[in-house]
Structure 1
């Protein structure tokens, strides 16, 4: 940059803070609507991989929530969970979003190296539930009955882990292109225990999605997602309302903006209680 008269661009009404949990450091990004909060507070979306998609989701909500009666998107607080990096992703996500599984169950690393350390999903979910959410609810006007968790790829896998192990933690679960093949044995084991957690007052909405070009028969993401939706929908007395969407002409990366646009509608829509 040749000139010194340029200033950093700051997204309006966004904030950040660093939080640590069990010696792991997280960079938290928060965006707050300009509108006056409803009496019940704003819906909240907890966004994984915050370094890569926080700004995209924040701007999508800011634009579309100007006319919620037309767009179906209502003002919401976005809480992005990220790491100390200027890149879109950090290797720490491999640990936070996964359980430990035998190496034989993992896909090969295209770089020809070992995968980073894994197995911290329970600890990361503890951080979200017992540290981050209470702090956000203390500092911002949050509707505690309308909180969503949004993740893509390994983040989508973690969203499914959260749904299957702690279905009461959130009311909306958005799993984009979930890497079910990565921890499938763990997911299936947790799924067997889920019926015992389905209390009568539970009312959960889950959305699983993929891009059309991801459905290439390598990991059977579509088939595995549809099968999981069918099983979830048949559990209990309809406490989990699960749905699936496939976005035409989108691949694993290009699907993200489309997923965000649809996900914010899913996360903020008004439902009868």
Structure 2
């Protein structure tokens, strides 16, 4: 027998620009007939680590949406052209320009090892908007009013940054264990400015922030930072932003991923 492939999936390489870095794009499409307005779509970062978990969870749960509350949807994973779960490029793709003094204050990854290149989030966001979304909308019937994005850790930071700076780009935002500590002051400043931006946007947005219970002992202050941000943004419910917070009992920074995937589907694709 040959290698097992996830049913209903395809993958291809898509470059940021001519001659630029290629991304491994993984797509799963429903077998059900699309609704008249098209399928909802969930874009997932770190697809090398998360895509399979998301697709299998969605394939099972969307069979009976009247029972699970999860509608059939297109899942688009944004990964890198290898089979490792994570890639060093994520440090650049998922982070804003970061002053050297801020980097030096972060919890050290490995003693004596310098940080990889950082600060490419704006370029990565442009890639999603100008290159990836048009390709997906060309090949699949997509409901543009129901677009979600999921990211974990630095990916969660990227999701928050996207909401805080360009809230019109997605309808639902899922930030799992977001690395708020990466540049906490900037996040706080941008959160304060979101309130003025939401009335101009005029749409109803959703944000889910999650952490694992065992992450509370991480030197970054992961859980406390996430909860403070949730409490701040939940005050914007009257302005058009609905915010939820989930702490997964007994889970750490990596073991939380399957629970995050399942909860993200219900949050973004619920009827």
Matched, 1:249 2:250: yes
Residue 146 of structure 1 aligns with which residue?
A: 146
Q: Which runs of 5+ in 1 are unaligned?
A: 1-5
What SS is found at the alignment partner of 1:55?
helix
TM-score of the two chains, using structure 1 as the length reference: 0.93
Matched position secondary structure for 1:233: helix
Q: 2:11 aligns with which of 12, 16, 22?
A: 16
Q: CA deviation at 1:190?
A: 2.3
In 1, Cα distance between equivalents of 2:154 and 2:203: 26
TM normalised by structure 2 equals 0.93
Asked if 1 retains the 8 angstrom alpha-carbon contact of 2:195 and 2:239, the reply is no
- Do the aligned residues in 1 keep the contact of 2:156 with 2:177 (CA within 8 Å)? yes
- Show the counterpart of 1:220: 221
Per-residue Cα deviation, 1:239-262 (whole angstroms, up to 9, x for no partner):
111110011111111100011011
Superposed counterparts of 1:84-233, under 5 Å = 84-101=81-98, 102=100, 103-110=103-110, 112-198=112-198, 199=200, 201-216=202-217, 218-233=219-234
1:11-62 deviation line (CA, Å, top 9, x unaligned)? 1110111111141211100000111111111110000001111111001100
TM-fit CA distance, 1:200:
5.5
Q: 2:31 maps to what in 1?
A: 34
Per-residue CA deviation, residues 126-154 of structure 1 (Å, 9 max, x unaligned), is: 11112111221121011111110001111
Q: Is the 8 A contact 1:211 1:251 kept in 2?
A: yes
Which region of structure 1 is more displaced relative to structure 2, 179-188 or 42-51?
Answer: 179-188
Task: Report whether the alignment pairs 1:73 with 2:74.
Answer: no
The aligned counterpart of 1:264 is 265
CA distance in 2, matches of 1:65, 1:236: 28
What's the CA shift string for 1:194-222, capped at 9, x where partnerless? 23321252211000001111111622222
Contact 2:28–2:74, Cα closer than 8 Å, also in 1: yes
- The CA deviation at 1:68 is 1.2
CA contact under 8 A between 1:33 and 1:77: conserved in structure 2?
Answer: yes
Per the TM alignment, residue 10 of structure 1 is displaced from its structure 2 partner at its CA by: 1.3
Task: Write the distance in 2 (CA, Å) between the matches of 1:27 and 1:176.
Answer: 22
Aligned CA-pair RMSD: 1.5
1:51 aligned residue: 48
- Preserved contact between residue 99 and residue 186 of structure 1 (Cα < 8 Å): no
Unaligned runs of 5+ in 2: none
- Contact 1:98-1:183 at 8 Å conserved across structures: no
Cα distance, 1:236 vs structure 2: 7.8
Say which SS state the counterpart of residue 167 (structure 2) adopts: coil
